Amino acid sequence: YIGLFGVLLLTSCGLTIQQKAAVDQFATATRDLSVTAQTEFQKSRQDVVEMNRLRLELGDTNADVTKLDSLLTLDRTKDRIVALQALEDYGGLLNKLVGIVPEGELLEASNTFVGNLKQVKGITLTDQEAEGIGKAVAAVGGLYVEHKRAQAVRQVVETAHTPVLTMIDLLKKDFDPNSDFWNAGYRQTALDLRGHASSIAGSVPANDLASKQSIQRAKTLAGENMDRFTAVSSQIVALATMLSDAQKNLRLVLNPSDLNVQNIDHLTTQVREFKTIYGLLRNESPR
C-alpha cells in the first residue's frame, strides 16, 4: 500500500496527544459498531424464528417446522459474528496500543485479534503478516515507549487495512436492502408472515376471536419487525460507510504534517447516538 499511510513518525517520536485521542476514538467507534451489529445479527435471527413459528401456528404449509431459521441459519449467523468479533478485536487492540496496559494484556489482545482474523471466511492473513503484528506489539513491551507504540499502531493499521475494509464491506452488504444478503432474508420472512396472515383473514368466522387475534398479532409483529429492522439497517449501512472512510483516512491521523480528525470525531458521535437509538428499538441497555 505505497503512499496509503505515508510516513508515520520519525523513529524517535511517538504519537501526539491529539493522535492518540483520535486513534482511541476510532478504535472505540469500531468496537461499538461491531458489538451492536453482532447483537442485531443474533436478534434478527431470533425474529425470523419467531415469525416462522407464527406462520406454522397459522397453518402456513410453506413454513417448515424443521427450518424455523430458514434464510438466516445458525451457520450464516456464526460466520458473520466471527467477522465482527475480529473487527471488534481490531478496535480493542488499537485502544490498548494508545493506552497504558500491562504487557500481558497487550500481547493477549494482539493474539486474539490475529487468531480471530484468521477464522474469518474470505480473509487472507499470511503467516508473515501475522508475525509482523505480533513482533510490533511485542516490541512495545511493558514500558511506555512512545515510538515503539507508534510503530506498532502503524503496523497493525497497515497490515489489517484490506481485511478490515473487507469485513466492513460485508457488513454493509448484509444490511443493504438492495443486496441479496441478510436484509433480503429478513424482509422475505416478514413479507411471508404478513402475506399468509392476510390471505386467511377473510376465511375466519366472525366469532372465532382467538384466530382473529392471532392473525392480527402476526400482521402487527411482521410490520413492527420490518419497521425496526429497516431503521437499524439504514443506520448500520451509513455508519459502516463512515467507518470505512475513517479507516482509509487513518493515515491522516498518524501523519503529524497532515492532522485531520474531523471525520473520526463525527464517526464517534454518530456511533454513540446509534447505540442509544438501538437500545431503545431493541429495548436493551447498551454494552
The tens digit of pLDDT for each residue in 248-275 reads: 888 666 665 554 567 778 888 889 888 8
Residue 117 has a pLDDT of 93
Give residue 25's Cα distance to chain centre: 16
**Helix (H/G/I), strand (E/B), else coil: 51:** helix
Give the mean pLDDT of 219-229. 96
The share of the chain scoring above pLDDT 70, in percent, equals 88
H-helix segments, the chain? 17-57, 74-97, 103-118, 127-140, 146-175, 182-201, 209-248, 250-254, 262-282
Residue 140's pLDDT band (cuts 50, 70, 90): confident
Q: Estimate the crossing angle of helix 146-175 against helix 127-140, to 10 degrees.
A: 140
Cα–Cα distance between 281 and 232 in angstroms, integer?
8
Which of 7-11, 70-74, 181-185 has the highest mean predicted lDDT (pLDDT)?
181-185
Whole-number Å distance between alpha carbons of 50 and 71 = 13
Per-residue pLDDT at 192? 93
pLDDT at 9 exceeding the cut of 50: no
pTM to 2 decimal places = 0.85
Q: Average pLDDT, stretch 65-70? A: 76
pLDDT grade, residue 282 (50/70/90)?
Answer: confident
Band the pLDDT of 285: cuts 50, 70, 90: low
